[in-house]
Chains A and B, each alone.
Chain A
C-alpha cells in the first residue's frame, strides 16, 4: 500500500527535553495504525506532530521531515493541513453548542454556507459514525447533554465533516464504557475503507483487534514497527516482546 504520511529522522524537543528521537515511519493509506508504548514514551507527541497541534505549545522545537501526500507539512498552510488530517481527543470535547452546530463547525470554517449542503454533510457524518438514529430528533439540542460515548462519536462525526483523509485518535476510548468502546472500534474498522486512521491506545486487545500495523514507542524512540500480527506474535525486539506480553509498562 502507498504511504500517505512519511516521517524521516523526526526529533522533537519540549524546551530542553527531547520527547521524540529520530523517528522514521511510513503510514499506509486506508489502514489503521496503532501506536503503543508505556506512558510518557511520546505517542501523543508524535500524533500531535502529524497535524501540527504542537504548534500551540510554546518552546517546541522540531527537526527532520514529515510529509503528507508527498508535501512537507511544515511548509504547508496549517489550517489546510488540519482539514486533511483531523483529530479526535482522549476526552470527548464537543463545543457547548447544538449537535448540529458542532458537526457543521468544520465545514463552516472552510467556507460552506449553503444550508442544504450543511444539512447533507451533518446527516452523512452522523450516519457514518452510527449516531444519526440516536440524535436525529434533537439536532438543535446542546451537545453537552449527550452521554460520554455519544459525545465521542459526535466528535468523530465533527472531525469527519470536513472530509479529512487521515484521522488521528488519541486514546479515544479510554474515557468510555465497554459498549461505547466497542462501538467506536467497529466504527474505526468501517472508516478505514475511506480514511487512514492512526490511533494511540493503551489497550493491547484493542490494538490487536482493530489495527493493521502497530508501532511500539519507548522513551521517545520508535523501537519496532510492523504488521500487527507480527508485532504481537513474533516481535523482533526483546523490549517489544516484554511490553506486548505485559512484562512491563
Chain B
C-alpha cells in the first residue's frame, strides 16, 4: 500500500520529467524550424552559384561552398590512410597491449579537447610556416579527426572474426595478405562511419579554421584554393553575421548547414544499423 504523500511525490517527479522532455523536444524543433524558415527563402540559385562582388554589391557563397568541399577532400585524403593505418597497426601488429591501451586512451582524450586549442596549435605549426591557407586548415582538421577515424576503424577491426584470420593463415597466407584480403574488407563499415562523422565535424568547425585557414571569399580551383586563404561555409556564416551584419546570407548558410548535418546524422545512423545487422 503506497501512502498518498508518496503517490503525490511520484506524480510530481513524473510530471517534471515529462516537462523536461517536452521542453527539450520543443526547443530543438523551434531552433531547427526557426533557422529553416528564416534561411530557406534566402537560398537562391544566384547565391549558390556566384562569388561576392563589391562592384555590384552582390553576395554569393560559391567560393565558400568550394572551400568547404576542398577542405573536406584534402582532410580525408590525408587522415584516412593515417587513421586506418594506425588502427591496423594497433589491432593487428602491436604486441604491447599496455602501449596500445595508452594510445587508445590518448585518442579518446584528444577528441574531447576544445577545437579552438587545435586552432591555436595549428596556427603555430602550420599557418606560421605555410601561410594562412586552406591546406593549413586541412592539416589542423587532420589532427582533430585522426582519433575519430582511428577509433571507428579499430572498433570494426575487432569485430572481424578471428576464425577468418586463422583460415587465411592456415592456407599459408602472409600477414599482409591476410590483412588486405580478409581483415580490411571486414572493416569498411567502420571506416565509412568514421568518414561520415569526420565530414560532419569538418562542416561544423569554425574556431580551428578561423585561426588557420582565414576567411577570404574567392572562387579558386582545387590546388589554387588549397594554397590560398579561404572561408568554409561555417566560417563564412560567422563572418557574414558578425563582421558584415548580413543576416539573410548568414541564415541561408545556416539552413544549408542544418540540412547537411541532418543528412549526415541520418546516413551515420543508417550505416551503423546496417553494420549491426551484419554482425548479428
A interface residues (Cβ-Cβ under 8 A, vs B): 51, 53, 56, 58, 79-83, 86-87, 89, 91, 93-96, 105-106, 109-110, 155, 158-159, 162
Residues of A within 8 A of B166 (CB): 53, 56, 89, 93
Asked if B182 and A87 sit within 8 Å, CB to CB, the answer is no
Q: In the complex, which residue of chain A has the Cβ closest to the Cβ of B165?
A: A56
Asked if A82 and B186 sit within 8 Å, CB to CB, the answer is no
Residues of A within 8 A of B163 (CB): 89, 91, 93
Residues of B within 8 A of A79 (CB): 172-174
- The answer to whether the Cβ of B11 comes within 8 Å of any Cβ in the partner chain is no
Asked if A162 and B172 sit within 8 Å, CB to CB, the answer is yes
* Other A-B pairs beyond A53-B169, A79-B173, A93-B167, 13, CB < 8 Å: A51-B170, A56-B165, A56-B166, A86-B171, A89-B166, A89-B167, A93-B163, A95-B167, A106-B171, A109-B171, A109-B177, A158-B171, A162-B171
User: Which 10 pairs show the lowest CB-CB distances between chains A and B?
Assistant: A93-B163, A83-B172, A82-B172, A87-B170, A106-B171, A79-B172, A93-B167, A109-B173, A79-B174, A95-B164
Residues of A within 8 A of B165 (CB): 56
Q: In the complex, which residue of chain A has the Cβ closest to the Cβ of B173?
A: A109
* The one of A56, A96, A159 that contacts B171, using a Cβ cutoff of 8 Å: A159
A95 to B170, CA, bound (A): 12
CB B100 to nearest CB in A, in angstroms, measures 13
CB B39 to nearest CB in A, in angstroms, measures 45
A135 to B128, CA, bound (A): 64
- The answer to whether the Cβ of B95 comes within 8 Å of any Cβ in the partner chain is yes
Asked if B172 and A110 sit within 8 Å, CB to CB, the answer is yes
A162 to B168, CA, bound (A): 12
CB A229 to nearest CB in B, in angstroms, measures 31
CB B203 to nearest CB in A, in angstroms, measures 33
- The answer to whether the Cβ of B181 comes within 8 Å of any Cβ in the partner chain is yes
Report the number of A-B residue pairs with Cβ-Cβ less than 8 Å.
Answer: 60
Most chain B beta-carbon neighbours within 10 Å: one of A87, A89, A93: A93
B interface residues (Cβ-Cβ under 8 A, vs A): 95, 161, 163-174, 177, 181-182, 185-186
* The one of A80, A91, A94, A96 that contacts B172, using a Cβ cutoff of 8 Å: A80
CB B95 to nearest CB in A, in angstroms, measures 7
Asked if A82 and B170 sit within 8 Å, CB to CB, the answer is yes
A158 to B164, CA, bound (A): 13
16 inter-chain pairs at a CB distance below 8 angstroms, sorted by A residue, are A51-B170, A56-B166, A79-B172, A86-B171, A89-B163, A89-B170, A91-B163, A93-B167, A96-B164, A96-B186, A105-B171, A105-B173, A106-B173, A109-B168, A158-B167, A158-B171
* The one of B161, B169, B186 that contacts A56, using a Cβ cutoff of 8 Å: B169
A176 to B239, CA, bound (A): 68
Q: In the complex, which residue of chain B has the Cβ closest to the Cβ of A58?
A: B95
A95-B164, A105-B181 are known contacts. Are A53 and B170 too (CB-CB below 8 A)? yes
Residues of A within 8 A of B95 (CB): 58
Residues of A within 8 A of B182 (CB): 95
Residues of A within 8 A of B181 (CB): 105
Residues of B within 8 A of A58 (CB): 95
CB B165 to nearest CB in A, in angstroms, measures 8
A80 to B171, CA, bound (A): 9
CB B99 to nearest CB in A, in angstroms, measures 14
Asked if B161 and A93 sit within 8 Å, CB to CB, the answer is yes
CB B188 to nearest CB in A, in angstroms, measures 11
Q: In the complex, which residue of chain A has the Cβ closest to the Cβ of B177?
A: A109
Residues of B within 8 A of A106 (CB): 171-173
CB A108 to nearest CB in B, in angstroms, measures 9
* The one of B167, B173, B177, B185 that contacts A155, using a Cβ cutoff of 8 Å: B167
Most chain A beta-carbon neighbours within 10 Å: one of B161, B166, B167, B172: B172
